[in-house]
């Protein structure tokens, strides 16, 4: 089959539901394509290794495995409900100087702080002190390293990497902690709430966008510090975005309008697509006894320990009958 006509029909749907406290001055710019493109790079020294001492534990996942899971969480979270697309994911040291100035650096390490600058203040932070950072297995050894008594092994759980990633990247796109809400409960004593007069329920000229006048106990931007959250996640309100988180990100970064005729075309290289047009389907393959194989022309599709199906979004109406 001629590679120019190998297409995949893709159906896209976006849920219009409900954000936390968004600082309007820290919004990333949206391009003419209708997408907000945020280049991401991985800071040197990032690691998923965890030292446990004299105890048997499963093979430590690589930092690439952790980043892959974080990317899937972002795809099913902030990206799914907005026009934001996180692109690149190359080592920061491989970028040109101008690319470094525009990049959102990510540092994952057992000794990293769980921290990220707010919105565009995170742009250009590509060293360990200024990058968006978090621990791969949560603070201490109690959250995402679980001892299986039947196997007598410690097992790794990606929930911390995924949920901390959603939380910290939420800061990177401009959302502050939910406890900054002007109607936070008296039981929550963290931070300093904003003034109600500084907030509006739709994105505009006010300093903050706060979609719902009610405090969101389930927000991904909640830590359970000082009884600030109803916890279902490893430490946050929800394991993923809450309905109000979704509504907020859809307000400040509106989902693009997609045509019903969109198709996917395999490019030669992953960066051949115009900004906002790359679709990356990530498959977490079996780590052991992996029996993947391929042959022939694959273009930007890569397959090994994991698989990436990469396509450029194209208006299918430009294709005629064969």
Do the Cβ atoms of 200 and 186 come closer than 8 Å? Answer: no
Domain spanning 21-252: which CATH class is it, in words? alpha beta
Distance CA(88)–CA(254), nearest Å, equals 22
What SS3 state is found at 70?
Answer: helix
Read off the pLDDT band of 54 (50, 70, 90): low
| pLDDT the model gives residue 53 | 58
Overall average pLDDT of the 258-278 stretch: 74
Q: Which pairs count as long-range contacts for 146-152, CB under 8 Å and 24+ apart, including other chains?
A: 147/55, 152/56
Read off the pLDDT band of 143 (50, 70, 90): confident
Q: What percent of the chain has pLDDT over 70?
A: 86
Read off the pLDDT band of 15 (50, 70, 90): very low
Distance CA(317)–CA(322), nearest Å, equals 13
Distance CA(207)–CA(275), nearest Å, equals 29
Read off the pLDDT band of 225 (50, 70, 90): confident
| pLDDT the model gives residue 163 | 95
Q: Which residues, in sequence order, are bridge partners of residue 307? A: 283, 303
Count H helices and E strands in the chain, helices first.
4, 15
List, by residue range, all CATH 3.40.390.10 domains of the chain.
21-252
Distance CA(158)–CA(145), nearest Å, equals 9
- Between these two residues, 18 and 162, which has the higher pLDDT value? 162
pLDDT in tens, 70-127: 999 999 999 999 999 999 999 999 999 999 999 999 999 989 989 999 999 999 999 9
- Phi then psi for residue 81, to 5 deg, are -110, 20
pLDDT at 321 over 60: no
| pLDDT the model gives residue 169 | 97
What SS3 state is found at 199?
Answer: strand
Tell me, yes or no, if the pTM score tops 0.95: no
pLDDT at 182 over 90: yes
Distance CA(44)–CA(243), nearest Å, equals 35
What SS3 state is found at 142?
Answer: coil
For 63, the token pair is 């930092």
For 136, the token pair is 């791969």
């Amino acid at each position: 089959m001629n590679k120019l006509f190998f297409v995949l029909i893709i159906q896209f749907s976006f849920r219009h539901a409900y954000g936390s406290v968004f600082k309007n001055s820290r919004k990333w710019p949206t391009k003419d394509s209708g997408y907000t493109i945020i280049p991401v790079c991985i800071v040197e020294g990032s690691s998923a290794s965890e030292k446990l001492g004299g105890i048997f534990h499963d093979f430590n996942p690589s930092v690439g495995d952790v980043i892959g899971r974080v990317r899937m969480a972002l795809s099913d979270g902030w990206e799914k409900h907005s026009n934001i697309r996180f692109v690149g994911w190359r080592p920061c040291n491989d970028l040109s100087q101008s690319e470094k100035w525009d990049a959102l650096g990510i540092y994952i390490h057992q000794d990293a702080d769980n921290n990220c600058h707010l919105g565009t203040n995170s742009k250009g932070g590509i060293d360990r002190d200024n990058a968006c950072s978090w621990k791969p297995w949560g603070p201490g050894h109690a959250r995402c390293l679980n001892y299986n008594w039947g196997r007598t092994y410690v097992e790794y759980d990606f929930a911390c990497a995924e949920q901390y990633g959603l939380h910290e990247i939420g800061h990177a796109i401009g959302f502050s902690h939910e406890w900054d809400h002007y109607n936070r409960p008296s039981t929550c004593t963290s931070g300093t709430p904003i003034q109600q007069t500084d907030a509006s329920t739709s994105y505009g000229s006010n300093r903050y966008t706060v979609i719902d006048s009610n405090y969101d106990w389930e927000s991904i931007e909640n830590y359970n510090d000082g009884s600030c959250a109803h916890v279902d996640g490893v430490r946050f309100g929800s394991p993923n975005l809450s309905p109000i988180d979704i509504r907020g990100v859809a307000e400040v970064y509106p989902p693009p309008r997609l045509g019903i005729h969109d198709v996917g075309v395999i490019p030669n290289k992953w960066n051949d697509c115009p900004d906002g047009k790359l679709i990356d389907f990530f498959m977490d393959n079996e780590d052991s006894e992996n029996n993947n194989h391929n042959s022939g022309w694959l273009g930007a599709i890569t397959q090994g320990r994991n698989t990436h199906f990469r396509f450029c979004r194209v208006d299918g109406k430009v294709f005629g009958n064969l």
